[in-house]
Amino acid sequence: MPQPKKRHSNVRQGKRRASNYRLKEKNLSKCPSCGTANLPHHACLSCGTYKGRTVIKIKDKKAKKEKG
């Protein structure tokens, strides 16, 4: 099997591999109850629902300010 005549530089190697490390846009879906964008198969961070039921209790921002 033939061997390469000369060594390829690190820059040339990086250019070839650049397509593997390209950032990809996240797939966001809308929450059916409040309409904010969130990751699929995750609980909504603004209303705390997942698959139509409340999973996380979300405290109001006003309540936090009154306590502190």
Q: What is the pLDDT of residues 31-40, one digit of tens each?
A: 998 999 999 9
End-to-end Cα, the chain, rounded Å:
73
Give pLDDT, residue 9.
94
Q: Is residue 17 part of a domain?
A: no
Q: Is residue 47 part of a domain?
A: yes
Give pLDDT, residue 67.
63
- Average pLDDT, integer, range 52-59: 89
Is pLDDT of 46 > 80?
yes
Instruction: Count other Cβ atoms within 10 Å, centred on residue 41.
Output: 8
Q: Is residue 5 part of a domain?
A: no
What is the extent of the structural domain holding 46? 29-60
Q: Is residue 39 part of a domain?
A: yes
**Who wins on pLDDT, 2 or 65?**
2
What is the number of structural domains in the chain?
1
* Beta-sheet strands, E only, within the chain: 29-30, 37-38, 49-50, 53-54
| Bridge partners (DSSP) listed for residue 30 | 37
Phi, psi for 40 (deg, rounded to 5): -65, 150
